[in-house]
Amino acid sequence: MPETAVQQKNFDAIVIGSGISGGWAAKELCEKGLKTLVLERGPQVEHIKDYPTATFNPWDFPHRGKIPPPEMDQDPIVSNCYAYTEASKHFFVKDREHPYVQEKPFSWIRGYQVGGKSLTWARQTQRWSKYEFEAPLRDGFAVDWPIRYNDLASWYSHVEKFAGISGNKDGLDTLPDGEFLPPWEMNCVELEMKEKIMQAFSDRHVVQGRCAHLTEPAPVHLKLGRGQCRARNLCERGCPFGGYFSSNSATLPAAKKTGNLFLQPDSVVDSLIYDEAQQRATGVRVIHAITHEVTAYFARIIFVNASCLNTNLILLNSKSNRFPNGLGNDNGLLGKFIAFHNYRGSIVADYNGPENKYYAGRRPTQVMMPNFRNVERQEMDFKRGYMVHFSATRVAPNADIGIGAAFKEAMTEPGKWHVFMMMQGETIPKESNFVALSDYERDNWGIPQLVVSVDYDENDEKLLNDFLQEGKAMLEKAGCSNIRTRDSKQAPGLDIHEMGGVRMGRDPQTSLLNEWNQLHHCKNVFVTDGACMTSTGTQNPSLTYMAITARAAQYAAEQFQNGKL
C-alpha cells in the first residue's frame, strides 16, 4: 500500500469493498488511469504471506481441523458454513462480534478482510444465458433487466480470460460456452451416469463443472505469479499457488502494478456524503476499525461493493435532506426484493460401480446440469427452476476398529461407490423479503445494525419438491439404489448467494440502478455486487458480478475522462 494512502484525502475513484466485485472495480479503474482508493473494513491479507494455515498438516491443528463445541455454541450461524473450519476460521466473521437483527431466521455468512469472501468462495463459475435475463419480463416477476446476454457476453470473455476458468465447450444455449482452460474430468461412474441420464431424459444435459481454477496457466496468470491448481482441496485457507481466482492473487495485484491503487484496510464505511448543491455524492465517511477515528475521503466516482447486504446497509445509512430514506431511495425500494438461492434439497444414493477402479478425488468442481424447468416458457406450476450438481465418490467406510495398524489398513480400503446430488434453486424476488436499519440496535462503530426479514414461500416449496422428485427419478434411471432424499430446512443465507435490494431496471419508479449500474438519482455512484441483481438465475452468481463490474467500470472511466462524471 502506498504510504500516501492514509494522508491523501482526494481520489478519482473510491471502491468500497475488496472482494470479488470490488477487486474487479479496482483493477479496471486503475488500469484506465484513475487514482483509486479501495476501502476494506477488515485487516490486510497479503497473498501467500497471510495464509497462516495453508501448508498445515491435519496434526498441526489442536482439534484436527474441527471447531470445538464451545466455539460453535458462541458462533452458531457461521459454524453451519461448509467452509468454516479450524483451518479457515480467521477468514470468517464471528456471530458474536458482528451481530444483526433476524426478524426471520437468516444465516449471514461474511468475510471481513482484504479479499473478502474471494478467499473462501466455492469458485463455481457459469455464465447466465439469454433466458435468465429475459425471464422476469417474460414470466411477470421482479422487473425487466435493463441488459441482455449480448450486452454482457464480451465482458464474460474479458473476465474469464483474466480469472482463469476451466471447462468444456458444451454447445448449450442454456449454459453459454466461455473462454476456458482445460477441464477437470468426470470419473468412470459419473460418465456412466451421464450417459444413462441423458438417454432417459432428452431435456437434461450433464456437463463437467466449470470453476475458477488454473488447470493450465496462461501468460496473463503467470505474469502475476499465479500457478497451476494442485487440487489440494485446501482452498478456504488461501492458495499460496494462486491456483484459484481471488482478489488477493489476481485483481488487486494487477491494480497495484498500475501505481494507481491505494488500499486501506481497517476502514469501516459509515455512509456516503451527498452534496445537494452539486447533486452528487462527493465522498465516503469512514470509521477506523480499531481506533474509531472518523475520516472523510473524496472522489468523483464511488463504487459500492461491500457485499450485497452491507451495500444495502451503507446506502440505507447514507441519509441527507435530499435522500432522508437512504441514497437514491426516492421510490422507497432500497433494501427490498432480496433474493437468494434455495439449497435445501439434496439426495444421496449408492451405485454398483466398478470395484477395480478407485476414486476419492480432490477435484475442485462437481458434475452439473443446467436448469431444465421453465426454460423457454412458463410450463410448471412454479416459476423458474434449479441447477443440479452431483458427484460420485468411492471412499473408505467408517471402520469401527479403534486404533493401530488394523485401523489404518481398514481405512485405506476403498468402500462402495456413493452419489451426492444437490439443487441450486432460483428464488423469486419479492417486496416482503427485505433488509432495513434497526431503530435501536447499533454495532461497535455506532452504525445501525441490519434487520433481515427474508424467508421462503410456496414457490420455493414447489421447486424443492420438484427437484427431490426429479432428482430421485434421474438417479433411478442412472442405476442408483438406496436413494434417500433430504430437505435440510436450512435458513436462507447459508447458500451465501444473497442478491438484490439495489436492483437494476429501466424505470426509476421500480428500480434503483440503470443499465450501467448507476443510481438513477445519483449518477456518480455505482453498485455492481450482488445487491444490483434484478433476479438470481440458477447459476452461481460470482462470474456475473465480475462481468457486470468490469462493464460498469469501463463506462465509469470513460464518463470520468470525458468530464461527464
Instruction: Categorize the per-residue pLDDT at 4 as very low, low, confident or very high, splitting at 50, 70 and 90.
Output: very low
Tell me: pLDDT of 400 over 60: no
Q: At what angle do helices 458-477 and 188-200 cross, to 10 degrees?
A: 110
| pLDDT tens column, 56-85 | 999 999 998 999 999 999 999 999 999 999
| pLDDT tens column, 337-352 | 999 999 999 999 999 9
Mean pLDDT estimate for the chain: 95
DSSP reduced 3-state for 544: helix
Residues facing residue 487 across a β-bridge: 345
Judge contact between 390 and 349, C-beta under 8 A. Answer: no
Judge contact between 283 and 10, C-beta under 8 A. Answer: no
Instruction: Categorize the per-residue pLDDT at 498 as very low, low, confident or very high, splitting at 50, 70 and 90.
Output: very high
The set of cell numbers assigned to 331 is 421510490
Cα dist. 558→29, 96, 521 in Å? 10, 43, 20
Tell me: pLDDT of 198 over 80: yes
pTM: 0.96
| pLDDT tens column, 93-114 | 999 999 999 999 999 999 999 9
Tell me: pLDDT of 401 over 70: no
CA–CA dist 556, 259 (Å, integer): 19
Q: What is the pLDDT of residue 549?
A: 98
| pLDDT tens column, 430-462 | 999 999 999 999 999 999 999 999 999 999 999
Tell me: pLDDT of 525 over 70: yes
Percent of the chain surpassing pLDDT 70:
97
Judge contact between 384 and 228, C-beta under 8 A. Answer: no
Q: What is the pLDDT of residue 456?
A: 98
Tell me: pLDDT of 361 over 90: no
CA–CA dist 5, 420 (Å, integer): 49
Q: What is the pLDDT of residue 1?
A: 35
For residues 476-494, average pLDDT: 98
